[in-house]
Structure formats: structure tokens, C-alpha cells
Amino acid sequence: MICVSLTARSNEQMLRMMELESGEADMLELRLDGIKNLDLTKLLEARTRPVIVTCRPADEGGKWKGSESARLELLGEADALGAEYIDIELDASGNLPGGKAKRIVSFHDFDKTPDDLSAIHEKLVASGADVAKIAVTARSIMDNLAVFKLLKERGAKTPTIALCMGEHGVVSRIASPLFGGYLTFAAASKEGKAKPSAPGQLTTKQLCREFRYRDLRPTTRIYGVIGKPIAHSLSPLIHNAAFNELHIDALYLPFLVDDIREFVPAYREIGARGFSVTIPHKEAALECAEEVDELAARLGAANTLYESEGKWRAANTDCSASVGALERALGTKKSGGSPLANKNIVVMGAGGAARAMVFGLVDKGAKVVVANRTYERGAKLAEEASAVAGGKCHAVKLDELGDLKFDVICNLTSIGMHPNVDESPVPAELLKPKMVVFDAVYNPLETKLIRDARESGCSVVPGLDWFIGQAAEQFRLWTGQDAPEETMRQAALARLG
């Protein structure tokens, strides 16, 4: 179930929010603390969903300014008026007389996830809770495991809400149905943006549309992207859209991870079946697999962890997808073989993405020139790739770009990325008809470089093509099925467009 938690400054504002949020929610939590002109009768008469009535004092994260006895009286009044649930904190629960409403007895820790969640749960149950609620703070992605374990071990006996607050705890709010959680709290939305009553809450729309909350159950398989930062990743959106399209019982989560070596084995144990890996963990990802695919080993970096024949493997779909997108743009060669063979290709940038592309290109027999802002970094990449390619890769300084003859140019820097949308790494006069121009940047969808290239009559490969391509290959490795690429693309376009 999803319960939208509502806080308001006035009774009128709370009434408006109740009407707005009733649509997709199963329940509403009415936070009475903070309402200046409270009229409880009016609020409860207006409800069209079951409600949890809550009134938090300041030391429990609330805004209640009255006395403790007045607070307990108010909760008693809500019970008498027919509220379906009353939330009372563990320390105060003995002081609130029983009534008809179901009693949620809650425990909060705004600083950490304590070690003894089972003992705390026992106290909640012993205090007469119909529903036990534990909301703690995750300092690391690993803290969610304690909450999942608690739900699994104790949630069947006593209805239990257990979650981690904060950015490391977002996954506990989404995945709770996998472990038997009673409900999750969602944020109210204000003009499309989340207005959380506690840190880390998502809106009902995000839970249902982006994370398939209504379809989640204990059999649901876990996938996700490992990175830091991760909040703005589009990967959950497109992979969950793909699972949804093919009716696959799976969930893809954003994992904010500090230490991938600790994270991967622990989440494998709770049922994770595969991961995407992004900055800064692509190198360390190799250590998390029992076997490493040849390309990933050569690159020294993986963006995918997947299971095959009982073993965890590391792969690099960044490389194959970027090269594949360029091959499609160049078209097939009559004589067979890769259309990249012997093509003159400039790669701008020498970071992780450029490295994957350069190695993939030299593998196909292309003649690659690396042009990077920091020349030495570009020269090092060219030297390493050259060792593989028998001399077919060298580096130039950025101001030598105009002297080069090339068939293909690839931007693997962040130049042109939002908000610097009027910047391009390549002067427009260097772009000629029949060239192929590849841009890694996909926000905006159409960068200045891609616009200039179209106007110059070049073929283009925009960043979204690469992004969808690398994700589609991951999807195949995890599920053995072809990814519904158009669905993934539409999901990304809906967000970026």
C-alpha cells in the first residue's frame, strides 16, 4: 500500500492536499502538527481514503508546540471521530488510552540505523501495536539490509512498516513489498515536485510509474544501477519501462554506493540478479565478478554485472554499444567486415567513456586520433590503445584539430551538456557532408554539435542512441531477451523532452 504523508500550515491547505493526493494513494497520513487553525472534524469528514492521524512533537521531527497532554487528547479525539489509524511514538504509547482505531506504534532515529532493530520491534509489539513502524536513517546503502531483514523475519507475524530515511535509504521505500512491508510512505507533490515530510520520500507517481510499485511482490527479482551520485540517473526509468513492457517480474533500483566490493555480495544474497555500474565504480566492478569478459578485462572497466551459468561476470556494454551505433551509421561494407576498418576517426576526450570507445574502434581496425583538453591524458590513452592496435592510434592537441582529415568525429567530453547548451567541442566549419558525428551527451537530446552536424549534411549519432544501446545490451545479458528499445527510448524522451 502507498500512504501519502501530508503536512500543512492551515486546515484549508490540508483539505486541498487531501483532495489532490487522494487519486492514486491507498491511504493518507494527516500530520496535524503544524496546522494553525486545526478543525479535525472537518478534515475527517472530508476524507475519501483511510487515514493515519499523526501529531509529532519536535523531538520526533514534528512541529507540535502545545503540551503533551493536549497532543494525546487530540489523538484521542481523532480516534473518537473514526480515524482508521492513530500513530503514536513508542515512548508515549503507554499514555494514550486504547480506542477503536488501529494503533501504529512508531520508532524513529534521525541519525542512524541502530544495530538492534529486532529488539526495538519487540518493544513496539509488546506495547500493543496493531502495526509496528520503524523509521531510521541510512548512512550507507548497507543499512537498508537491516530493514529488509527485519521485514522478512517479523513482518508476517505483526504488520510492520520499516524504512530507512535519507538519500541512502530511498531503495527501502521502493522495495518494501519484496520483503513483506505493510506500506510505504510517499511524498505529496507540489507542481509536479516532491514535497516530502521525511527525507528520501518519492511521490506516488514516481513509485507507480518509474518503479512499478503496484506490481512488486516477494518473487520480484532485483536489478539496479550502482553509482555515486545516482539520483539523476535515467537507468531506472528505462529498465523498469522495459521490464513492464515484457511483463518481467523485476525491479531496477538506484543504488547510492560508497563501497562496491561490500555492496555486491551483500545484495546478491538478498536476491539481486544484475547491476549496471557507473562512475566512480567501473574499475572496481571487475573485482566483484568471478569472471571478466575479455573486452572488460582489456579496458580495465566494466559497466555491467550479470549472472551466467551460476557465475557472476563483468562486461562492458559501453564499448560494444558505442561502436555498434557508429557501425550502423556508417552502413554495411560490400566486402564484409566492419565499416570502421581504416576509417579516420577523431575521439575528443580521454575519460572512461572515451577509453571504452577508443579501444572498441582500434579493435575494429579504425585509425584513431585522440584529442583531449589535457594532452598528456590523451597521449596516455592513445599509447595504450596503440599497443593493442599496432600503432593505429595517436594523440593531438586540441588546437591541432583543424589540421586533421577525418571521416568520423566523436565527442566523449561533457561539452554541450545542460546547462551549457550553446557550446560545442568542434568548430562547425570542420564538419563536412558525409562525415559521421557522434555525441555522447544526451541532455539536451539535440546538442549544438549534433545541430551543426545535421546542418552540414553529416550523419549523426546522438547520445541517446548510445545510452539506449548500452542499456539494451545489459538487458539482454540479464534476461536473455531482446530489450524493447523503443519503449526504453520513449521513457527517456518523456523525461528529457
Residues noted as catalytic: 108, 133, 282, 318
**Residue closer to ligand NAP, measured from CB, 209 or 373:** 373
In 39-129, the DSSP E strands lie at 51-54, 85-89, 102-108
In whole angstroms, what is the distance from residue 13 CA to residue 304 CA?
47
Q: CB of residue 277 vs ligand NAP: minimum separation in angstroms?
A: 11
C-alpha closest to that of 321 among 284, 276, 290: 276
The answer to whether 11 and 192 are in contact (CB under 8 A) is no
Q: CB of residue 211 vs ligand NAP: minimum separation in angstroms?
A: 21
The answer to whether 143 and 136 are in contact (CB under 8 A) is yes
Q: CB of residue 367 vs ligand NAP: minimum separation in angstroms?
A: 20
Q: CB of residue 288 vs ligand NAP: minimum separation in angstroms?
A: 19
**Could you tell me the three cell numbers for 12?**
484549508
**Residue closer to ligand NAP, measured from CB, 211 or 467:** 467
**Residue closer to ligand NAP, measured from CB, 24 or 485:** 485
**Residue closer to ligand NAP, measured from CB, 111 or 399:** 399
Beta bridge partner(s), residue 368:
345, 393
**Residue closer to ligand NAP, measured from CB, 195 or 373:** 373
**Residue closer to ligand NAP, measured from CB, 101 or 441:** 441
**Residue closer to ligand NAP, measured from CB, 204 or 424:** 424
> Terminal CA-to-CA distance of the chain, rounded, Å?
31
- Greatest Cα pair distance in the chain: 87
Answer left, alpha or beta for residue 240, where phi above 0 means left and psi between -120 and 50 means alpha.
Answer: alpha
Which spans of this chain sit near ligand NAP (rule: CB under 6 A)? 279, 318, 349-354, 372-374, 377, 412-415, 417, 440-442, 463, 466-467, 470
Q: CB of residue 420 vs ligand NAP: minimum separation in angstroms?
A: 8
Its sign, for the CA torsion 3, 6, 11, 13, is negative
C-alpha closest to that of 166 among 118, 142, 201: 201
What residue number has its CB nearest to ligand NAP? 351
**Residue closer to ligand NAP, measured from CB, 240 or 413:** 413
The answer to whether 158 and 134 are in contact (CB under 8 A) is no
Q: CB of residue 492 vs ligand NAP: minimum separation in angstroms?
A: 10
What is the helix (H) or strand (E) element at residue 368, kind and residue range? strand 367-371
In 171-298, the DSSP E strands lie at 184-190, 193-195, 221-227, 250-256, 272-277, 291-292
Give every strand in the sheet of 436-439, ordered side by side: 393-396, 367-371, 344-348, 408-411, 436-439, 459-461
**Could you tell me the three cell numbers for 311?**
557465475
Q: CB of residue 373 vs ligand NAP: minimum separation in angstroms?
A: 3
Q: CB of residue 442 vs ligand NAP: minimum separation in angstroms?
A: 5
Exposed e or buried b per residue across 211-228, where buried means at least 16 C-beta atoms within 10 angstroms of its C-beta: bbbebbeeebbbbbbbbe
Give every strand in the sheet of 272-277, ordered side by side: 250-256, 221-227, 272-277, 304-308, 311-315, 291-292
The answer to whether 227 and 233 are in contact (CB under 8 A) is yes
In whole angstroms, what is the distance from residue 337 CA to residue 403 CA?
29
